[in-house]
Amino acid sequence: MIKNNIASVENNNTAGSLALLGARAPRDSFVASRLRAAGAVLLGKTGLSQWANFRSSNSSNGWSAHGGQVRGVYIEDQDPSGSSSGSGVAASLGLAAACLGTETDGSILSPAQRSGVVGIKPTVGLTSRDMVIPISEHQDTVGPMASSVKSAAYVLQAIAGQDANDNYTSAIPSSIPTLPDYVAACKPGALGGARLGVPSNVLELFLSFDNSSIPEVDAFQSALDIIRGAGSTVVLGTNFTNLTEWAASDSEGIVLRADFISPTGLAAYLSKLTVNPNNITSLADVARFTKTVAPGPEEFPSRNTATWDQALDPATGFDNTDPRFFPVLQENLFLGGEGGLLGALERHNLDAIILPTSFAPGFAAIVGAPVITVPLGFYPADAPKIMDRRGELVDTGPNVPFGISFLGRRFDEANLIGLAYAFEQATKVRGKVKPYLVPGTELPRKGR
């Protein structure tokens, strides 16, 4: 199953918006066509946080006008996290062998951990974004969500590769004439001899914001002993040197908004549609439709359009052709590079950084680096219920899953897959707590 912002010719591709209901893409997305070529059967689309969580400041994860509310499976009315909400839930329940999600910042990693599954957020440029409804050309990527590292590795093997319709894929290093064998990287002993860094100042920063994640940090600290026992050297204090500046910066938000309204952003995708019943050609058209044509079904203004309003406001918004864009992008790259993830990897000669998944996505997102999340544990059965910002869904509470993330250098997926697989095999967390919901019907598998 694939997220409802990844085009397949037989299905609507709406990003959850009624504005694009009935619109038709001219072809499969590159990743959908690669899945078919590998023999996969596409069963359908999964629900998502509308516009990949790039519309509102007060909506809920997993909600879209075209699809309704996705709910998590480990507790009644669970927030599934987002934006690849339905892909995480479908992978968790086994409604498909695996699912595709997209990530700009956290949209694979976060719903994967809350559904207790594996999520691979690939390097930007390893998987094509052709015919995928975009947010940011600098940060968007497509990746697999599945019940195991090896299943996710099979899917990544199928969808990765160069595509003439996405020039970012030309960044795949010429030193690798063929892609690594991601499935063969799944070795139980891969943690042996690895140097893994823990940026202690990241843990301190996030706990200072919100101490409700203490169970996740406690489980993470316990996991370090398992990792050491598997033969890794855990290097504490591999701090991100410009973490304070990162926490105070809006450079990422500016980059995302500028990319979204740029000529190569949303408008470029819309221009390729062969059928466009609502004549949607720009973000301004989407905003008009949402606010005036279908405000009831789109639940406006209860779910606002604050992100779009900021992007479209001449006082605050500009696209990525504007001269103000380049210095903001450079700030982004520094805060994730020398001042953040990539700098820590190099200074301490690390194979990867490890963090609780709740803390991990942003540092890799702003430099397009890869991350893998693997199940780590569950909130205790007596944990208090913490509600989402609308007070409608349970953000964290009894038995809600969480993960551990392995963050690495660009195009270093094979190494991260090996580390994640070895951790998964050493812990086998998935299945230790049964979900609140389980499917009553399973598709037959021939020959099994």
Read off the pLDDT of residues 36-70 as tens digits, 9 standing for 90 and up: 999 999 999 999 999 999 999 999 999 999 999 99
In this structure, is residue 446 part of a structural domain? no
Q: Which residue has the tokens 């609507």?
A: 12
- State the pTM of this model: 0.97
CA–CA separation, 439 vs 176, rounded Å?
Answer: 42
In this structure, is residue 127 part of a structural domain? yes
CA–CA separation, 120 vs 109, rounded Å?
Answer: 7
Q: Which of 277, 305, 284 is closest to 18 using CA atoms? A: 277
Q: Indicate the pLDDT class of residue 158, thresholds 50, 70 and 90.
A: very high
CA–CA separation, 87 vs 184, rounded Å?
Answer: 25
Q: Indicate the pLDDT class of residue 446, thresholds 50, 70 and 90.
A: low
Indicate the pairing of strand 401-407 with strand 352-356: antiparallel
CA–CA separation, 221 vs 219, rounded Å?
Answer: 5
Q: What is the CATH number of the domain that holds 347?
A: 3.90.1300.10
* Active site annotation includes 83: yes
Active-site option among 49, 81, 85, 107: 107
Note the helical H segments in 233-301. 243-248, 251-260, 266-271, 283-288
CA–CA separation, 195 vs 60, rounded Å?
Answer: 38
In this structure, is residue 436 part of a structural domain? no
Read off the pLDDT of residues 319-341 as tens digits, 9 standing for 90 and up: 999 999 999 999 999 999 999 99
What distances in angstroms separate CA 336 from CA 106, 160, 306, 362, 400, one per listed residue? Answer: 15, 24, 26, 8, 29
- 212 is in which domain, residue-wise? 2-427
**The predicted structure's pLDDT at residue 448:** 38
CA–CA separation, 98 vs 189, rounded Å?
Answer: 25
CA–CA separation, 195 vs 76, rounded Å?
Answer: 40
DSSP label at residue 291: I
**The predicted structure's pLDDT at residue 278:** 98
In this structure, is residue 432 part of a structural domain? no
Q: Residue type for 242, please?
A: N
**The predicted structure's pLDDT at residue 241:** 98
Coil, strand, or helix at residue 372?
strand
* Active site annotation includes 107: yes
CA–CA separation, 121 vs 177, rounded Å?
Answer: 22
In this structure, is residue 389 part of a structural domain? yes
Read off the pLDDT of residues 117-139 as tens digits, 9 standing for 90 and up: 999 999 999 999 999 999 999 99
- For the chain, the domain total comes to 1
How does the average pLDDT of the chain come out, rounded? Answer: 96
Q: Is the pLDDT of residue 223 over 80?
A: yes
User: Which residues are CB-neighbours of 185 under 8 A, at least 6 positions away?
Assistant: 153, 414, 415, 417, 418, 421
- Cβ-count burial 394-416 (b if 16+ within 10 Å, e if not): bbbbbbbbbbbbbbbbbbbbbbb
In this structure, is residue 130 part of a structural domain? yes
**The predicted structure's pLDDT at residue 176:** 63
Indicate the pairing of strand 99-103 with strand 386-387: unpaired
**The predicted structure's pLDDT at residue 175:** 66
Active-site option among 8, 17, 60, 83: 83
Mean pLDDT of 5-33: 97
Please tell me the least confidently modeled range out of 173-182, 239-248, 267-276: 173-182
* Active site annotation includes 151: no
